[in-house]
Structure 1
Amino acid sequence: EIFADIDSPIALAFVQRYPTPESALRLGSKRMATFCAQHGYSGRRSIDELLGRLQHAASISPGPLEIDAKGKLVTGLAQTLARVVEQIRLLTSRIEHAVQASDDGQIIMSFPRAGRVCAAQILAELGTVRERFDSVERLAAEAGVTPVTYASGKSRTVAFRWACNHRLRRAITCLADNSRHASAWAAHVYETAKARGCDHPHAIRILARAWLRVIWRAWQDRVPYDPHRHAGAIPHLASTEG
């Protein structure tokens, strides 16, 4: 694996230009540097490191006919993947523009570090029928960021909520994780949870549950996020967000 992601433009260009180990191993520092410059490579690995990874990659010794056949197969697969990646890019762009143009999209994107893709994922799961989530507790349970409590007699057990909308949980926790880098209040909630012994995923779910109180209120009221307006949803929100 030379480049980080096989579906990145530079990785697809590389395997199309050098579809066989033999063709790739003929690369020297100058040609690799030229190739990287042509494709705007801005990765952290140096040219020598890229070549080193290439030279130490696992290899086999097939015959010339097999090399030719597999080279053509790799080229075809790379071309197909490139077309799929381009279609994904176009669809993502359309989704982003649609979210940005919608009123609900503006509400979700008003939260710290809530990008258009994340907002689209959240809105797709929330839908437009606000009565479906008549309380923040119901929304939090749907999103899987509240634990499940089992009670029997005098015993009481709290466990991770497995049964939930997993797509919504991924989207909400992604927003929460991003927000702690832009919101002092979110960072405080996260660090407090970590200090209590929670691991990263648990701390993020705690933060997501806290954010959902504000998201639910803003969504129900059809207004963008404002730390002062929504301070009532969560204590200390306005003071930490300035």
Structure 2
Amino acid sequence: MIRGLTEGAPEMKATPSTSTSGTICHAGIDWSWQHHALCIVDDDGQRIEEATLPHTRPGLARVTTLLRRHGVDRVGIERGDGPVVEHLIRDGFEVVVISARQVKSLRARYGSAGNKDDRFDAFVLADALRTDAGRWAVVQPDSDETIALRMLVRARHDLIGHRVAVHNQLLAVLQHNFPGAIGLFSQLDIAISLAFLRRFPTEAKAAWLSELRMAHWLKANHYCGRHTPARLVAHLQDAATGRAAGPAAEASELIVLTLVDLLATLRAQQSDLETRMKEALLAHPDGPIFTSLPRAGVIRAATLLAEVGDCRARFPDPAALAAAAGVAPSTRQSGKHLNVAYRRGCNKNLRAALVDWA
């Protein structure tokens, strides 16, 4: 996200860090979920401290101790979120984002081999702060309310991805074993369709349905669609033949029932998340701004707020937001050659939110 903000937006420039001995120090951290490589350099680019620390509470505390020992108040890192960034901001350090793509290019300063090494990348990050201090954007944290809303929004998005995958798996099973169930109702994973598959998971069991029995079943399950019982029974009878009996039909029944239960659970959990999202959106100070957007609704308004954030300094003008979301074109010019292309380096989640709303 921060990478896109460096185009079209003024950057916050921090003053260099100075140790107690008067030496200006710069730090870089190459972090992962197992360990973190820390490098601190002086104003001449010489390494004065290097360490590889575990991703534990004592390890992060040791990071803070080393940074404060050398008077460092600004740290270079490859991404603007995650537990290490949260720890550094909480302990009062400024976090400067230098993206992985930029680090890859900066490695060429020190050799043409292009080898990837965590300790070396930490040195590159620290040295980039030393040589190009004013180029990098300082992380501007969002409020806890916005972070919580973002977690709910992204969890819902991931849950929908899981639901679509299970839906497609169920569709593939029915295409081979029970084609008549496909297209019987408007969607395969709505409540009435799942109830039907739970009661009639195989073609053999659905063959028991007559027009009268179908009418009774629909009434008992509160069906409010437009199709008549006769039309639904005709749909089942006109469909291609699946597996009506045998071990394959028994296996298909077990798989269908398992996937139906899983889909019902996913839909219920999605509904719970959407309720929590609505509560968080209504309680958020910026909620009225985003809900006032045309046809934003609840889900889109919550998604926009979660991805845009509530830090005003991050987007000082519309051009900064457009660049971060990738909706502004990328222009490349060399001599007489001019190329205006699709902007790929951006915050993908923010782009998806804006495009969906548009």
Which residue is equivalent to 2:310?
128
Alignment of 1:184-223 (within 5 A): none
Q: 2:345 aligns with which of 163, 167, 170?
A: 163
Please state if 1:57 is matched with 2:230: no
Measured after TM superposition, the shift of residue 154 of structure 1 is 2.2
Residues 1:54 and 1:153: Cα distance change in structure 2 (over 3 Å): farther
SS at match of 2:303: helix
Q: Where do 5+ consecutive residues of structure 2 fail to align?
A: 1-181
Residues 1:47 and 1:144: Cα distance change in structure 2 (over 3 Å): farther
SS at match of 2:205: helix
Aligned residue type for 2:195: A
Measured after TM superposition, the shift of residue 125 of structure 1 is 1.0
Given that 1:12 and 1:78 are in contact with CA atoms closer than 8 Å, whether structure 2 keeps it comes out as yes
Measured after TM superposition, the shift of residue 45 of structure 1 is 4.5
Which residue is equivalent to 1:232?
none
Normalising by structure 1, report the TM-score: 0.63
Which residue is equivalent to 1:110?
292
Residues 1:101 and 1:78: Cα distance change in structure 2 (over 3 Å): same
Task: State which structure, 1 or 2, has the greater radius of gyration over its C-alpha atoms.
Answer: 2
In 1: Cα distance, 2:316 partner to 2:213 partner: 62
Given that 2:291 and 2:301 are in contact with CA atoms closer than 8 Å, whether structure 1 keeps it comes out as yes
Which residue is equivalent to 1:184?
none
Please state if 1:151 is matched with 2:330: no
Q: Which has the higher strand share?
A: 2
Given that 1:109 and 1:115 are in contact with CA atoms closer than 8 Å, whether structure 2 keeps it comes out as yes
Residues 1:11 and 1:139: Cα distance change in structure 2 (over 3 Å): same
Aligned residue type for 1:75: L
SS at match of 1:151: strand
Given that 2:203 and 2:243 are in contact with CA atoms closer than 8 Å, whether structure 1 keeps it comes out as no
Alignment of 1:35-74 (within 5 A): 35-43=217-225, 45-61=227-243, 63-74=245-256
In 2: Cα distance, 1:55 partner to 1:150 partner: 61
Please state if 1:99 is matched with 2:281: yes
Q: Give the aligned length.
A: 176
Q: CA RMSD in A?
A: 2.3
SS at match of 1:150: strand
Given that 1:143 and 1:172 are in contact with CA atoms closer than 8 Å, whether structure 2 keeps it comes out as yes
Q: Where do 5+ consecutive residues of structure 1 fail to align?
A: 177-242
In 2: Cα distance, 1:87 partner to 1:69 partner: 27
In 1: Cα distance, 2:226 partner to 2:319 partner: 44
Aligned residue type for 1:129: C
Q: Which has the higher helix share?
A: 1
Given that 1:100 and 1:116 are in contact with CA atoms closer than 8 Å, whether structure 2 keeps it comes out as no
In 2: Cα distance, 1:102 partner to 1:80 partner: 33
Report which stretch shifted further, 142-151 or 111-120.
142-151
Deviations 1:95-132 (A, max 9, x none): 11211221212110011211111111111211232211
Deviations 1:56-92 (A, max 9, x none): 4343346433323321332222122212211111111
SS at match of 1:161: coil
Which residue is equivalent to 2:212?
30
Which residue is equivalent to 1:140?
322
Of all paired residues, the percent bearing the same amino acid is 39
Which residue is equivalent to 1:89?
271
SS at match of 1:111: coil
Which residue is equivalent to 1:231?
none
Measured after TM superposition, the shift of residue 49 of structure 1 is 4.2
Report which stretch shifted further, 156-165 or 124-133.
156-165
Given that 2:203 and 2:244 are in contact with CA atoms closer than 8 Å, whether structure 1 keeps it comes out as no
